[in-house]
Structure 1
């Protein structure tokens, strides 16, 4: 098998030959992020790809992210290097179960996190991201809300907005669920000058111990504007590559999960994406993400509703 440098060169040549762009989420492997044209959060990546003249979008991330890219770029071919790269949060909310759940609340506005399948987005009134969720909820003042699928993000939204009446779907991300408050506090004792930066998908006790709560992109921006020299990072460990690239002079300490002493917390699905799989996907132009057009249009409507509300 070719080494990473050789594969990266071959991938770059294939991108030029096929007019392709590669999107990589912050949680993917460092070598995957290095071959990407765009690195970021899932929705921002899909928007960036939609604005290009590329014929092919390869999404180095998990499956729902590639679906979102297809929703926003129906005329482009969208590839996913490994279709087995799922998402525990998206998988915790099947479309069939969610349809039955929302039927119990016919007078509620349905707000769904972008970390959902395209079929769930199609059942949603308004999508949201971890960056704009607070703004979306506040814009729906006076309306009953059903929020899915992340109970931790939903609980955070209830606290921040004062909307105790929001109905929550009971789902969670396996990565953010596993962070240990005890180990974070232990790290804080070892590094009293470090600030704790946490993703809102974490459990309430972890968020209450954090100095800042925000999306992956917001965490990166916070570090750039805060002026600190040491941070405990409470989200998937892939973000450390971008943080260290942007701020090499700063010390970043990954928070460990409860059931591990490895000092980090990885998403097993994100790590399924490798350079050989990216290369093969570009060579074969497969596996391709294909979505029923009616489902795609309804899902696009929920995303467009969000974009209109979050300007």
Structure 2
């Protein structure tokens, strides 16, 4: 069934246990509440998705129930590329706002919904388009490399995007005599500078507040108390440098320290021989890791590393989006066209990598 432009966004009530889902969900500061992720809820979500001809996408950091009901789970860029390929009229992106924007950029003819448009991102918000324009004016001949965790407006001012898994390759592909403006994550930028050895890379002082909060002291303490565990470290984490220091000084075997994107963590989980893995990233990732390798004990380096924006995509919010057609994501075509170029230049290098 296709959604046409003259069709009402709101669909008729549920065919199962209608009273359960017709109650008003509560709009609070942490998102929409009032609906539990029961089996009946999952059945209704899937029924509504079929009625809308919608594909449900969920990021690795979403609540487990949201991940389990989705058609596809993964990193933001991987999901956005899936969005462009599927034969659906609508994409419901369970993630934060810049992710839904990226899906819209790569799927301009599809209707893209995010279950709660207030689900932002502290990293994407750490640089605005105006701030980037001012920075570019200071280095007019520099190449701008933006992490995909940025707004559409920032991508539109970018020469080439990157992901956490291909950032080193992207920067290495640039003329070594050219200055590089790398944004917005300072920890990923430090990782790229360390790997490439470039002195002419300028790094924006942005961060994801959740990843930045996973610090070196926590990692050191966890590594000391779990000496046989592998360490999976996201390069956005404040502890990434500490992890490399521990390996370099011999406190942790170097082969146990792995700096990985979230997609890379899934691959590494399937390959590791360790019985236990300490994971430094947002705790929603543990759900997919445990599904990928159920025989391994995955433990968070920081069990409080939960993104409040990701968790705004609640069962109630998803149901609301499917029932009422809210919230739709729009990107001006001129911005989308420029942003699309920066993503396509990255893909042309040959390793599109993961979203984060």
Superposed CA deviations along residues 223-258 of structure 1, whole A, max 9, x for unmatched, are 2112211110000000000011111110011011xx
TM-score, length of structure 1 as denominator length: 0.95
1: CA distance, partners of 2:243 / 2:54: 39
- 1:231 aligned residue: 277
Does 2:233 correspond to 1:198? yes
Structure 2: state its 5+ residue gaps. Answer: 1-33, 248-256, 352-356
1:301 aligns with 2:341: yes
Distance in 1, matches of 2:82 and 2:52, equals 18
Q: Does 1:21 align with 2:46?
A: no
Give the superposition deviation at 1:276. 1.1
Quote the offset at 1:2 in angstroms.
4.9
C-alpha separation between the residues in 1 aligned to 2:35 and 2:158?
Answer: 44
Residue 108 to residue 49, structure 1, CA distance change in 2 (3 Å): same
> Which residue, out of 255, 267, 276, partners 1:221?
267
The alpha-carbon deviation at position 79 of structure 1 amounts to: 0.2
In terms of mean alpha carbon deviation, does 102-111 or 222-231 score higher? 222-231
Contact kept, 8 Å, 1:135 with 1:310, in 2: the verdict is: no
Q: CA deviation at 1:216?
A: 0.5
Decide whether aligned partners of structure 1 residues 105 and 284 sit closer, same or farther in structure 2, where only a CA change above 3 A counts.
same
Seen in structure 2, the aligned counterparts of structure 1 residues 307 and 185 have a Cα distance that, compared at 3 Å, is same
User: Distance in 1 between the 2:207 and 2:230 partners?
Assistant: 25
Matches within 5 A, 1:271-310: 271-310=311-350
1:91, CA displacement in angstroms?
Answer: 0.3
1:3 aligns with 2:43: no
Q: Which has the larger radius of gyration?
A: 2
Q: Does 1:250 align with 2:296?
A: yes
Q: Deviations over 1:273-309 (max 9, x none)?
A: 1111111101111110011110010000101111111
1:51 counterpart residue number: 85
Name the structure 2 match of 1:85: 119
Superposition TM-score, scaled by structure 2 size: 0.83
- For structure 1, which segment, 233-242 or 216-225, has the greater mean C-alpha deviation from structure 2 after superposition? 216-225
- Conserved in 1, the CA contact under 8 Å of 2:153 and 2:335? yes
Whether the aligned pair in 2 keeps the contact of 1:22 and 1:59 (CA below 8 Å) is: yes
| Aligned residues of 2:216 and 2:242 also touching (Cα < 8 A) | yes
Match of 2:223 in 1: 188
Q: Count residues with an aligned counterpart.
A: 305
Give 3-state SS (helix, strand or coil) of 2:123's partner: helix
2:314 and 2:124 mapped to 1: Cα distance?
22
Other-structure match for 2:192: 157
Judge conservation of contact 2:265–2:289 (CA < 8 Å) in 1: no
Distance 1:207 1:188, change over 3 A: closer
Residues 191, 235 of structure 2: 8 Å contact kept = yes
Unpaired runs of 5+ residues, structure 1, are 257-262
Distance in structure 2 (CA, Å) of the matches to 1:111 and 1:224? 31
Instruction: Report 1:5-154 matches (<5 A).
Output: 5-142=39-176, 143-154=178-189
Q: What RMSD over aligned residues (CA atoms) do the two structures have, in Å?
A: 1.2
Moved over 4 A (4+): none
